[in-house]
Structure 1
Amino acid sequence: MEAIFGTWKNKKGSEENMTAFMDACKIPEAARQVMLDREYEISYTKGATDKSMKVSVKVTNDSKLPEKSYEYELGKEFECDDIDGQHFKCTITWDGSKFVENYVDDKGTKMAIQREITPDGIMKFAMICLGVTASSTWEKKA
């Protein structure tokens, strides 16, 4: 679990199956390219307790979008808004090898994200919505 602490950046061009994923999540056509063009940084730090974490998310190539910060307890549901302002209920767990994030939006649509750190220090990122999986690779900043 310690391997996730630090700042990560999405590796542009590593995305796979994003069109099908966006179809499954019903992301409007007008928003798709904007979302694909974004460059993200996510920072993870320890939280106030042994079971809590802090995360900050920002889009580095669009200064109009606000940085979002959360502190959550692993295994406990919390509410959050994503970078675009969409509201979710979320539960994040650590299964011993990866983080599993389960989201439900206000319409009841479920989405999951899995983050796994490989032995060579790469984060494998998988998003699942209505049975459709998209993936990408994230690299830790020095």
Structure 2
Amino acid sequence: MDLMATTQDRTDHPGERGSDQPLRLLAIRDTPLSLDEVFAAVGDAAAGGTALFVGTVRDHDSGADVEALGYSHHPSAEAELRRVAEKVAADFPVRALAAVHRVGDLSVGDLAVIVAVACPHRAEAFAACRRLIDDLKHEVPIWKHQSFTDGTEEWVGA
């Protein structure tokens, strides 16, 4: 048996490459987010690794207690989210990708953002998921307005 040929056959398998249609769910919503919906969206029989990140509203930031929080977005935000997702899918062997971000008024504990990436292997899934959330936070025009219990407030990402 030729070990080199066997290894080559495995890396040439279509499941080892990204999907032709990896973007399964991209949305900015003013309604509660669902982990089940996002996880189901990235289901793929060829994926050996699925990484999921969930961002929640916490009760503090920078040493201050958060009283209220709201997200707003630019009209181009969904297009920018698609651009970011397409770049991640081009840079990694993504089988399936999903990203949803909440806007409007949120409470402590609410889900603010969920991203998930399915790839042939776990290392690729972790790396792609990290890139997706990092680029989303840096490049998609979504802004957070925080009000603190001491009466101060701030905009983040504006």
TM-score, normalised with respect to structure 1:
0.31
Structure that is richer in helix per residue: 2
* Higher RCO (CA-CA < 8 Å; seq separation 6+): 2
Structure that is richer in strand per residue: 1
TM-score, normalised with respect to structure 2:
0.29
Return the index of the structure with the highest Cα Rg: 2
